[in-house]
């Protein structure tokens, strides 16, 4: 075999090895954001005119970013960095704008996202306590779906800048989306001390308080005594209702505020049990809230279901039945109304009507536990 042929075989084998190894030994790996941030940019002594230009253009780049003009923000930030490579604000704006542009693509431009994260990490390396750089980094992580890591970055931000409103808002949003109501509620409360009419924060705080009340009722609480847990839960439901009421004052036309208040007050009523003082007048007030929500959102079966649930609790079975049936006329597959109506029929001895509804429910989106219970009831004679 000649030398040329041997060389050709070696070259072919080299290509095969590279392919089999996934290019791991034949090509340089893509740089990570940490690699990008490893090398600090050079220092430059700026003239007075250059400093003024950097300050002016950095502010404009930030304005472009906040306004969603990401291309303009990116280009302006790059121009600033050409003059002042260590400008933390321009570096942070560049990273955030690149991140927004990367995640606007379908599929996302991961190479651009990596560069964006690298710029933000470099900005934080230059100025670890810079609030905007830390916020922009957290926002990029949120866009990438890394909520837990974003939450950690926002904790760092708030440890240095505890009254930073955008940071508080972002941190509360992350904890809320993660279902961490115990962590979200105090952040939302802190935000509302600075912006008491922030509708976004009021609505989420009210929902957090409902969830925290539910946790006490489930026994997911530091309280060991059941009666103590019930009392704390009832108080939390009332506090949630009050917060929904505050939300209504700034979002009068949103039915969710009235629906939320009605739901919280109903849950407090049920948790408190029968024979409460003023039970019927309280029930009537809750029904009025459900009706107000229904006027604003007449196609929502939840408002009629809520009315039915209150009448059910007050043992006004006929009005409960009418409300559940009205809800099902709006949405024949409204599971809560269907199950509650079936229970009413069953308790009234109309078992065949109940069975018809249960059979319908088995084809809908119900829990495994509900399916087991329905199948058990369907076997009864």
pLDDT digits (tens, 9 = 90+) for 193-215: 999 999 999 999 999 999 999 99
* Residues listed for the chain: 381
What is the pLDDT, as a whole number, of residue 11? 37
CA–CA distance, 90 with 73 (Å, rounded to integer): 9
Question: What band does 381 get if pLDDT is binned at 50, 70 and 90?
Answer: low
What is the pLDDT, as a whole number, of residue 17? 30
Q: Is 365 exposed, middle or buried (0-12, 13-18, 19+ CB in 10 A)?
A: exposed
Tokens of 345: 């029929």
3-state secondary structure of 4: helix
Q: What are phi and psi of 117, to 5 degrees?
A: -65, -35
| CA distances from residue 153 to 121, 124, 279 in whole angstroms, order as listed | 11, 11, 48
Domain spans in the chain, listed from the N-terminal domain onward: 196-289, 298-381
More confident residue, 4 or 119: 119
Of 178, 202, 209, nearest to 188 by C-alpha is 202
Q: What would the mean pLDDT of 285-299 be, rounded to a whole number?
A: 97
More confident residue, 379 or 119: 119
pLDDT surpassing 90 at residue 222 = no
What is the pLDDT, as a whole number, of residue 263? 98
Compute the C-alpha angle 43/46/49, nearest 5°. 155
CA–CA distance, 213 with 216 (Å, rounded to integer): 5
Q: What are phi and psi of 130, to 5 degrees?
A: -75, 115
User: What does pTM read for this prediction?
Assistant: 0.85
pLDDT surpassing 70 at residue 255 = yes
Of 99, 370, 239, 184, nearest to 247 by C-alpha is 239
pLDDT surpassing 90 at residue 30 = no
For domain 298-381, give the fold. 1.25.40
Compute the C-alpha angle 325/331/334, nearest 5°. 80
CB-based contacts of 80, cutoff 8 Å, min separation 6 = 54, 57, 58, 61, 87, 90
pLDDT surpassing 50 at residue 53 = yes
- Write 39-47 long-range contacts (CB < 8 A, 24+): 40/86, 40/122, 40/125, 40/126, 41/81, 41/85, 41/86, 41/122, 42/85, 42/86, 43/85, 43/86, 44/83, 44/84, 44/85, 44/86, 46/83, 46/84
**Within 13 Å, how many C-alpha atoms sit on residue 234's CB side?**
12
**pLDDT tens digit string along 162-178?**
999 999 999 999 999 99
């Amino acid at each position: 075999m000649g030398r040329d042929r041997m060389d050709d075989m070696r070259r072919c084998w080299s290509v095969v090895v590279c392919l089999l190894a996934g290019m791991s030994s034949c090509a340089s790996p893509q740089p990570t954001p940490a690699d990008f941030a490893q090398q600090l940019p050079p220092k430059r002594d700026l003239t007075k005119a250059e400093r003024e230009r950097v300050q002016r253009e950095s502010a404009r780049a930030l304005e472009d970013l906040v306004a969603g003009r990401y291309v303009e923000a990116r280009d302006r930030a790059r121009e600033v960095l050409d003059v002042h490579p260590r400008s933390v604000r321009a570096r942070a704006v560049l990273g955030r704008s690149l991140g927004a542009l990367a995640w606007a693509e379908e599929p996302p431009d991961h190479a651009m996202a990596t560069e964006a994260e690298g710029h933000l990490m470099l900005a934080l390396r230059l100025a670890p306590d810079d609030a905007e750089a830390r916020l922009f980094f957290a926002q990029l992580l949120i866009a990438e779906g890394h909520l837990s890591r974003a939450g950690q970055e926002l904790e760092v931000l708030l440890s240095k800048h505890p009254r930073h409103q955008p940071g508080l808002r972002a941190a509360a949003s992350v904890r809320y989306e993660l279902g961490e109501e115990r962590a979200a509620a105090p952040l939302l409360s802190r935000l509302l001390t600075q912006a008491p009419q922030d509708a976004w924060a009021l609505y989420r705080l009210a929902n957090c308080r409902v969830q925290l009340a539910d946790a006490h009722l489930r026994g997911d609480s530091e309280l060991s005594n059941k009666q103590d847990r019930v009392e704390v839960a009832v108080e939390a439901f009332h506090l949630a209702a009050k917060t929904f009421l505050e939300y209504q004052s700034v979002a009068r036309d949103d039915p969710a505020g009235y629906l939320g208040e009605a739901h919280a007050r109903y849950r407090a009523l049920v948790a408190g049990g029968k024979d409460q003082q003023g039970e019927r007048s309280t029930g009537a007030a809750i029904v009025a809230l459900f009706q107000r929500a229904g006027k604003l959102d007449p196609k929502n079966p939840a408002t009629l279901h809520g009315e039915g649930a209150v009448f059910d609790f007050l043992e006004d079975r006929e009005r409960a039945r009418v409300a559940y049936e009205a809800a099902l006329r709006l949405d024949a597959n409204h599971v809560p109304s269907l199950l509650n109506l079936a229970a009413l029929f069953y308790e009234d001895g109309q078992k065949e009507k109940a069975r018809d509804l249960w059979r319908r429910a088995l084809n809908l989106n119900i829990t495994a536990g509900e399916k087991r219970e329905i199948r058990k009831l369907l076997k009864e004679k």
